[in-house]
């Protein structure tokens, strides 16, 4: 049985709904690496050294220190974090309800957690779920997890409720940092052709149809090296060219009409004006995470 990573209550007006929280997702790392010694090619050990007298500190003995001045720290224990004078430490505090379609999920959503009612909270839990379904609304809430307070969203997910932690507004970068051209001229014919291509490729979202091919490709490299073979690189992709946009769109639409993926773009005539614009356009500024 899955192990809950948080226990508390949903604060819904004057109603408290005892719940448990479970991770709704799990990362499947495609490949993992060990750090090896360059001489014997065996795993190296990572140790934590005290800079004062150069002794090794076991991970279990490491303390958490909050820096309040130069070389001045306040030691924080795990139980101290459980005693934070914060309402949301053991409560998912619903602040308000908003229309489901109003939340720009793309920029805000971080992590996903399933909520499960405790035995004494089953009826109010499913009452809240039914009310959210009938009103097509989601709950905006706050919750403290680990070392910070999170903005969160509670919404119906199948036969339970899902809690998504969100980015705070000041954590979202502005698009003003990007080099975005203004007043790009697009003809009605180009828009019509592009929307036709979208219509031809539109289907119901079925994530089980998609697979991660990275691990299989990586395994081919491992197999080649284990056999003592030289790793061969795939044929490099052709450099993107400035194409006749309408010709490329038309070819793509025709291909998708037949239920096929668009073939590689034909070597159509270059658009001289577009080529000059691309050459004159300054490179976008790079940002580091």
Task: Say whether both 263 and 125 belong to one domain.
Answer: no
Rounded (5°) CA angle 190-248-254: 90
Using pLDDT thresholds of 50, 70 and 90, give the confidence band for residue 88. Answer: confident
Structure-model confidence comparison of residues 243 and 46, the more confident one: 46
Task: State whether the Cα torsion 242-245-248-249 is positive or negative.
Answer: positive
Pairwise CA distance, residues 183 & 66, whole Å: 50
Task: Say whether both 192 and 105 belong to one domain.
Answer: no
**Would 64 be classed as within a structural domain?**
no
**Would 139 be classed as within a structural domain?**
yes
**What's the pLDDT at 240?**
56
Q: What confidence tens digit (pLDDT) does each residue in 205-224 have?
A: 787 887 777 777 777 788 87
Using pLDDT thresholds of 50, 70 and 90, give the confidence band for residue 251. Answer: confident
Q: Which two tokens stand for residue 12?
A: 């819904």
Could you tell me the residue range of the domain that residue 260 belongs to? 179-198+244-281
**Would 126 be classed as within a structural domain?**
yes
Using pLDDT thresholds of 50, 70 and 90, give the confidence band for residue 256. Answer: confident
Q: What confidence tens digit (pLDDT) does each residue in 135-145 have?
A: 999 999 999 88
Structure-model confidence comparison of residues 104 and 56, the more confident one: 56
**What's the pLDDT at 162?**
95
CATH code, 88: 2.40.290.10
**What's the pLDDT at 237?**
61
């Amino acid at each position: 049985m899955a192990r809950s990573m948080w226990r508390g209550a949903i604060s819904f007006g004057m109603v408290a709904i005892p719940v448990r929280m479970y991770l709704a997702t799990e990362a499947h790392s495609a490949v993992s690496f060990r750090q090896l010694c360059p001489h014997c090619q065996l795993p190296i050990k990572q140790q934590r050294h005290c800079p004062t007298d150069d002794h090794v500190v076991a991970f279990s003995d490491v303390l958490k220190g909050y820096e309040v001045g130069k070389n001045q720290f306040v030691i924080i224990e795990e139980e101290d974090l459980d005693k934070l004078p914060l309402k949301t430490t053991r409560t998912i505090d619903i602040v308000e309800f908003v229309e489901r379609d109003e939340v720009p999920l793309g920029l805000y959503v971080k992590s996903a957690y399933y909520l499960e009612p405790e035995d004494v909270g089953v009826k109010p839990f499913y009452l809240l779920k039914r009310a959210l379904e009938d009103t097509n609304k989601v709950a905006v809430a706050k919750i403290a997890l680990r070392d910070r307070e999170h903005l969160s969203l509670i919404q119906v997910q199948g036969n339970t409720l899902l809690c998504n932690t969100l980015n705070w507004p000041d954590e979202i970068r502005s698009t003003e940092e990007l080099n975005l051209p203004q007043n790009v001229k697009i003809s009605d014919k180009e828009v019509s052709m592009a929307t036709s291509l979208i219509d031809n490729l539109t289907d119901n979202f079925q994530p089980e149809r998609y697979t991660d091919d990275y691990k299989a490709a990586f395994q081919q490299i491992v197999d080649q090296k284990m056999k003592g073979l030289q790793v061969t690189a795939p044929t490099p992709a052709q450099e993107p060219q400035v194409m006749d946009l309408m010709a490329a769109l038309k070819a793509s639409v025709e291909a998708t009409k037949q239920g096929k993926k668009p073939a590689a773009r034909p070597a159509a005539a270059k658009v001289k004006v577009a080529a000059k614009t691309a050459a004159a356009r300054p490179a976008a500024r790079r940002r580091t995470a």
